[in-house]
Amino acid sequence: MADYKIYGSISEFFQAIRLEIEQDFDFTIHPLDKLHGEPPTQSPLFRTNYYAFLLIADGKGHYTIDDQYFSVQAGSFYFTNPGHLKSFFIEENLKGYMITFTEAFLKIYFPVSVEQVFPFLYEKTTPVMQLPEEVFNDLAASLEVLERIYRTPSGFKRQIVSGQLVAFLYQTKELLQRYRTDSNPATRAAVISSAFQQLLQQNTLQLLQGKIETPWAVSDYADCLHLHRNHFSQTIKAETGKTAKQWIDEKISNEAKSLLKQSTDTTAQIAAKLGFSDNSNFSRFFKKMTGLSPTQYRQS
């Protein structure tokens, strides 16, 4: 499978397709009718490092995730998680809202275990939900409030937005219990990728709880899944566009960001908690991943 481009933010993706979108931190909410220009509009195949949630009030189109096809219309609500190979086609101008955010943003402002509270954020594929009018209108009203907050200047905008985002994710969790439909049977590669993601969340949680001293290496995940390391690595790369090592490093980096912003632990304590042998190794890793030292990031 070709190695399609991975975008770290929605603004980066839109620049690539010669459109502009406003973004000043790792969260956005925008009305859909102001995003894509005149239909019909078709995107290239791409992957992202961010979550995208879409609520469709009007219009018509479809999108693909890996080898699965989903149609959308008025009343649709769906989301895509990082790592998918995806594309979209807009047949009739869409109206509604799109929210994007990164795992790092959510973890910084939501100190509870995201993996345990919102497990759907780590699943492979979730089909479109078709919502009843009253339910749809309630969700649309919540997003209207969230967009107004996002547009309003405030020294506490990120904190307020994050609180509203958490409320929105709880709404999504409830809707999934009521309106979720089954997707097509997963391929073997998709099953392996999903199992890896679940193990990655579990392993990281064990690390933070002090139950293990160091994060698992790629070979540990391959062994746990009873796969040869090369086959495991090739499968993850082909299925998600990123290597297993990249997924592991990004997960540790996101946890480090959250601890630096949310805790009063020293960088040495955070380094130890995340399984680094010493603070200097942690600092080099963090600088490589983010371009900032742990101290610079904490003060930013």
The per-residue pLDDT for range 253-300, each reduced to its tens digit, is 999 998 998 888 999 999 999 999 899 999 999 999 999 999 999 998
* pLDDT greater than 60 at residue 172: yes
Q: Which residues contact 21 (CB under 8 A, 6 or more apart)?
A: 10, 11, 14, 28, 30, 35
Same domain, 20 and 167: yes
- Residue 68's DSSP bridge partners are 65
Same domain, 212 and 84: no
> Among residues 145, 179, 213, which one ends one of the domains?
179
- Give the chain's mean pLDDT: 89
Same domain, 86 and 152: yes
Q: How far apart are CA 262 and CA 268, in angstroms?
A: 15
Same domain, 140 and 206: no
What's residue 129's pLDDT? 93
Residue range 101-125, pLDDT digits in tens: 999 999 999 877 888 899 999 877 7
Mean pLDDT across the stretch 172-192? 81
The answer to whether the CB of 235 falls within 8 A of the CB of 221 is no
Mean pLDDT across the stretch 122-149? 91
Give residue 198's pLDDT band: very low, low, confident or very high (50, 70, 90). confident
Same domain, 215 and 116: no
Same domain, 228 and 164: no
Indicate whether 256 belongs to any domain: yes
Give residue 3's pLDDT band: very low, low, confident or very high (50, 70, 90). low
Indicate whether 247 belongs to any domain: yes
Indicate whether 29 belongs to any domain: yes
Same domain, 24 and 166: yes
Question: What's the pTM?
Answer: 0.77
CATH number of residue 157's parent domain = 2.60.120.280
* pLDDT greater than 70 at residue 51: yes
Q: How far apart are CA 200 and CA 256, in angstroms?
A: 15
* Concatenated DSSP letters of 219-281: HHHHHHTT--HHHHHHHHHHHHSS-HHHHHHHHHHHHHHHHHHH----HHHHHHHTT-SSHHH
Indicate whether 85 belongs to any domain: yes
Most confident of 77-91, 157-171, 196-210, 255-269: 157-171
Indicate whether 79 belongs to any domain: yes
Indicate whether 1 belongs to any domain: no
Residue % of the chain over a pLDDT of 90 = 56
Same domain, 101 and 169: yes
* pLDDT greater than 70 at residue 205: yes
Same domain, 236 and 294: yes
DSSP state of 125: -
Helix (H) or strand (E) run with residue 104 in it = helix 103-109
What's residue 38's pLDDT? 74
- The residue segments making up the domain with residue 61 are 6-179
CATH number of residue 241's parent domain = 1.10.10.60
CA end-to-end distance (rounded Å), the chain: 39
> Among residues 125, 159, 179, which one ends one of the domains?
179
Q: How far apart are CA 21 and CA 262, in angstroms?
A: 29
Same domain, 18 and 74: yes
Helix (H) or strand (E) run with residue 145 in it = helix 133-151
Same domain, 120 and 250: no
Strands 6-7, 47-48: pairing kind: parallel
Strands 76-80, 129-130: pairing kind: antiparallel
What's residue 28's pLDDT? 95
> Among residues 125, 158, 179, which one ends one of the domains?
179
Indicate whether 154 belongs to any domain: yes
What's residue 215's pLDDT? 92
Indicate whether 231 belongs to any domain: yes
C-alpha triplet 77, 48, 120: angle, nearest 5°: 45
Q: Which residues contact 250 (CB under 8 A, 6 or more apart)?
A: 49, 242, 289
What's residue 184's pLDDT? 58
* pLDDT greater than 50 at residue 197: yes
What's residue 75's pLDDT? 95
Same domain, 194 and 175: no
Give residue 139's pLDDT band: very low, low, confident or very high (50, 70, 90). very high
Number of domains forming the structure of the chain: 2
Mean pLDDT across the stretch 150-154? 92
What's residue 1's pLDDT? 42
